Structures are given as C-alpha cells and as structure tokens.
Amino acid sequence: MSALEDNVAKLTGYLARFRDAGILNRIGGQDRAGAGGVFQSISPVDKNAICDVAHGTAADIDAAAQAASDAFAPWRDMPAQERKAILIRIAEAIEARAEEIALCECWDTGQAYKFMSKAALRGAENFRYFADQVVQARDGQHLQSPTLMNITTRVPIGPVGVITPWNTPFMLSTWKIAPALAAGCTVVHKPAEASPLTARLLVETAEEAGLPPGVLNVVNGFGEGAGKALCEHRLIRAIAFVGESSTGSLITKQGADTLKRNHLELGGKNPVIVFDDADLERALDAAIFMIYSINGERCTSSSRLLIQDTIREEFEARLVARINAIRVGHPLDPATEIGPLVTQEHFNKVTGYFDIARQEGATIAAGGDVARTDGYFVQPTLFTNATNRMRIAQEEIFGPVLTSIPFATEDEALQIANDVPYGLTGYVWTNDLTRALRVTDRLEAGMIWVNSENVRHLPTPFGGVKASGIGRDGGDWSFEFYMEQKHIGFATGSHRITRLGAG
C-alpha cells in the first residue's frame, strides 16, 4: 500500500462518524442542532460532500454566549496552576490526535499533507506555550509616587468571540483560543463555514482533557448570520478575528454599539525585496516557499517579488524552472506540494486573475491555468513584466500566484513596497547590514524578516499595519488583548487631602 492509499484509508475511518452524524454545534458541553437546519461541507479534493453541518443562527449564538457567560466566573477563579494543568493536558491530547487532525484538515481545506502534518503539532505548541504563561499573566507593575504605592494587575476581560478562517484553521484556532483560555476568558468560536471539521475535533479534545463545559463553545454558521450575531452580542466582550480586510471593517461596525474590543488579523500583499548583493539561492528558496506553500492561501505570503533589475532576468528564469517543477496533486500524497483551493468560489476568484493579468499587459511566465478538473486545482503561477499599479500587484489574490516587479534603486524598492493598502509582512534579502537597517526602518509592515522566510517565534508580536489589521498576537501581547488592566493605589502616609465644605 502506498503512502497515499494508507492516508486515504485512515481518513475514511476518521470521517465515518461525521458522515453518519454530521457536525453539531457544541454549547455548554452539549451537542445541539442548528436553529437554521444544516449546510454541507464540501471537499475541494473531489467536490463531493463530506457531511452535514449544523447551521447556527443568532439563537444558537445567544445560547453559546449565555453558556460562556455562566462558565466565566468559575473558570476565571480557578487557581492558575489548575488552569495550566488543563491546558497542558489539551496540548498532550492534540498531539495524540495529530494524525486525525491533519488528515481531516487536508480533506476539508485541500491543504497538502506535507504541511498539515505539522499543523496539529503547532496547535499543541500554542497550548503548551500559553499554559506556561498562565501564572504570570496577571502580573503587573509597581509604580511608586510620592504619596502612593501604585500597583497594576490584569484580569480576564470576560467571554470573547473567536472567528477563524479556512486556511490552516486548526492552527489558527489554537493561536486565538489558547491565550484566551490561559487568560481566564471563556470562548464562543465561530469557525469558517468552509472548514468545520477540525473545530469540532478541537472542542472534543479540549473537553476530554478536562476543560469544563461552557468554557469553549462552537457554533457553525455563516458570517451574515452567526458571525454578525456574535459581533453584536451584549455578553461578548471582545472579538478576535482572522480573515479579509473588508470583513474586519464590517466586524468593527457590528461591534460598535456594544463597544467591542477587536483584534483583527487581516490581509496582506507582502513584498519580498531581493537586492543584487543577496544570497540568491537562499532568496529563491524563500520566495518560492512563502508564496507556493500552503497553496498560497496565507496572509503572510510573499505575493510580490521586488527584484533588482541587474539580476531580474537570471532570477526570473530560475524561478520559472522551479515553479514548473512544483508538484500539484492529491493533498494526502506526502509528495504533493500544492493541493486544491478551498472552495469553488475561491477557485473562481484566483483563476479570474489570470485573465486580469493578460488584460493589464503582464506576462504569464509560468502556470496561469487549471491543473486538473476533479477538484479545485490550479497551476502555480508567475506574472512578470508587471507594474505596481496593476490589480495583480495591488489586490490580495490569496493563491499560488506571484507577481514580479523590477526596481533599480533602494528608494524605488521602498516606494513600490509601501504603495499598497496593506502592511502585514515584508521580506528583505541583502548582505549589506546598513541597507537592511535603512530598509526595515522605512518599510511599512508589522513584521519583517531579513534574509529569512517567515519563521514564527511565539513570544514575538504578530500583526500588521494599515489594512492588514489592528492589534498583536503572541507572548504578552495576547494577554494585553484578552485581559483588562487594573490600577490600585495604596496611600503610604497621611498626605494632604483638599477639604471642601469644612469652613
């Protein structure tokens, strides 16, 4: 039996219960049907239905928010070491189910097993990391003044809503939910309707590891129904969202009447700037990895190649050869590097840019077509002879599509890099240290890597500027979002108090 056949056989076993019973909402530790009936989860691999999914509505969100509110005080007041122990057990339970999570995610999203085999382990790492921060999460400062001993502390903000996307959904869910639970918050999770499987696996795993009922609730549904209701609900104190910039703007409006705190991790049109003094072999590897891995469906992808004109011709030629050798195929085959795009709608969006590129006068140097028709497969694609004014350079395509733009000088590279609505990440390749310092200082991005692809370090801040978002995840920045600052001042003596009405 080949590795592909083995993975398919295992997946068939894992999916059997979903096909029989569907995916129900999980509210207050109980399975519940959706008030809106059901919708179907479709696999992008073969375009067939995986299972029925509970269609949550405002009524389901209201029940979940109430369950999260009821569970909040006991979870908040649980000794920190006990909360920590539960989160560690969740991490261990995720590791034990890593294969099941990875295979289900591949089938649900089209992501290649080559990358998703590590996604569950990264999710476990998120729980383990934030579990280790539980005890000191409330720590504050001692700020002495002439008359007072001022101290600060932090307390959990309350029940929060977490809305996650369909690209690497399990890992991104843990990236939001783990620090919320570590802070002492309870959660209502609304996963993307296109990828509901692993959200169900997460809540099951967490409760089996000892998470009390109601601390994590899952309501499946659509943005205009369940998502809107979650953002507007009076019991939900904050919304953590990952997704498109336009949706982030809508979430801000929906939460305005209840003064929601929002953390928005949004889109990007990220530049990888390659200067002629760079290590071109490593720059080539990194540029290819950051746009064609994860099917190009990642907010941090290096979707614009800014290449110095003195090396452009050679670099693009090597790029074309490498792109044409990328293996597109069945996502459960360990040799596959690009699987199908997640939905018919997204497939149509990405392939639509092939015609846009032609109309704008760019050259399709590689790809630019459908790879196979049994699922939503597209060829890895490279646009050359492009300018930064073209739509292919300004708009987030969110697929395995790279736009190459030449530049002559450092100033021109920076002008092009910054001339987009987004500012999530940037990648700079140069062996000139002073140039690296100048460019990173002027580059408009929340995160920048020099001579590296995106390498996440959990204590560092993750987030963007401009249309790429508001707020930061990671390390103590996550607790700043999920907790409220509190100041207490203790008088250190009998300082003078101004007396009114005393004659």
Residue numbers annotated as active site: 265, 299
| DSSP assigned state of 489 | E
Residue 50 identity: I
Q: What are phi and psi of 380, to 5 degrees?
A: -60, 135
Angle (CA) 33 66 477, round 5°: 110
Per the CB < 8 A criterion, the answer to whether 445 and 423 are in contact is yes
Query: Does residue 350 sit in helix, strand or coil?
Result: helix
**In which residue are the tokens 């089996």 written?**
208
Query: Does residue 272 sit in helix, strand or coil?
Result: strand
DSSP codes, 176-240:
HHHHHHHHT--EEEE--TT--HHHHHHHHHHHHTTPPTTSEEE--B-IIIIIHHHHH-TT--EEE
What angle, rounded to 10 degrees, do the helices at 169-183 and 475-482 form?
70
With a CB cutoff of 8 Å and minimum separation 6, the contacts of 431 are 277, 278, 279, 451
Q: What are phi and psi of 444, to 5 degrees?
A: -90, 90
Angle (CA) 251 255 261, round 5°: 95
Residue 457 identity: H
Alpha-carbon gap, residue 409 to 277, rounded angstroms:
13
SS3 assignment for 50-109: EEEEECECHHHHHHHHHHHHHHHHHHHHCCHHHHHHHHHHHHHHHHHCHHHHHHHHHHHH
Q: What are phi and psi of 345, to 5 degrees?
A: -60, -45
What is Dmax (Cα atoms) for the chain? 96
Alpha-carbon gap, residue 372 to 335, rounded angstroms:
17
Burial 327-356 (b: 16+ CB within 10 A, else e): ebbbbbbeebbbbbbbbeebbebbbebbee
